[in-house]
């Protein structure tokens, strides 16, 4: 295990892989849902490391307010004051085309299933439209209006 840590440390990776594998347990589910660790970079003179965390733009301020608590939790994982700074980045760690900002569990959609009667009525109203795309868009729009009218 020690050889693995040294190898990871020499490549600029994580000295303790537990930080990656148990991120949600270390920092808590609410924080893990909005950010993820990207890298740990060590200072040349060995005076503490910098942890880089990735988050989305709107969540960066939430993470910034929690930096002292986040640093405490991460250092508790290391067992000593290994991390002296935490830097927040809002860019993708692998490139713009590959970076998908999905951190934790995403909330499930709560939209109700479409009513077959409303869908059929909307289609019959829009059937006279010759353009296929416009007809489908108007049918969907009419179906949404009918759904909202029934709720009121």
In a domain, 104, yes or no: no
CB-based contact 129:59 (threshold 8 Å)? no
Q: Sorting pLDDT into bands at 50, 70 and 90, what band is 110?
A: low
pLDDT band at 41 (very low <50, low <70, confident <90, very high): confident
Output the CA–CA distances (angstroms, integers) from residue 141 to 53, 89, 113, in the order listed: 41, 39, 15
What is the rounded CA–CA span in Å between residue 66 and residue 74?
12
Range of the domain at 126: 116-151
133, part of any domain: yes
Same domain, 84 and 126: no
- Report if residue 30 sits inside a domain: yes
The residue with greater pLDDT, 139 or 119, is: 139
Average pLDDT over residues 51-62: 87
Are both 58 and 122 inside the same structural domain? no
Mean pLDDT over residues 54-77, rounded?
Answer: 89
**Tokens, residue 77:** 């994982």
One domain for residues 123 and 60: no
Domain membership flag for residue 97: no
Tally the domains of the chain: 2
Residue 19: CB atoms within 10 Å: 19
Instruction: Give the other-Cβ count within 10 Å of 91's Cβ.
Output: 11
Same domain as 126, residue 85: no
């Amino acid at each position: 295990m020690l050889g693995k840590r040294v190898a990871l440390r020499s490549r600029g990776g994580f000295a303790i892989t537990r930080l990656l594998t148990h991120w949600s347990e270390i920092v808590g589910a609410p924080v893990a849902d909005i950010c993820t660790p990207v890298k740990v970079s060590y200072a040349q003179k060995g005076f503490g490391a910098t942890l880089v965390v990735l988050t989305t733009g709107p969540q960066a301020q939430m993470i910034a307010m929690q930096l002292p608590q986040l640093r405490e939790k991460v250092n508790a994982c290391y067992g000593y004051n290994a991390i002296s700074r935490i830097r927040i980045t809002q860019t993708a760690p692998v490139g713009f085309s590959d970076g998908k900002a999905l951190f934790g569990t995403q909330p499930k959609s709560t939209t109700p299933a479409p009513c077959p009667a409303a869908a059929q009525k909307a289609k019959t109203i829009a059937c006279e439209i010759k353009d296929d795309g416009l007809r489908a868009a108007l049918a969907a729009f009419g179906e949404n209006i009918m759904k909202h009218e029934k709720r009121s």
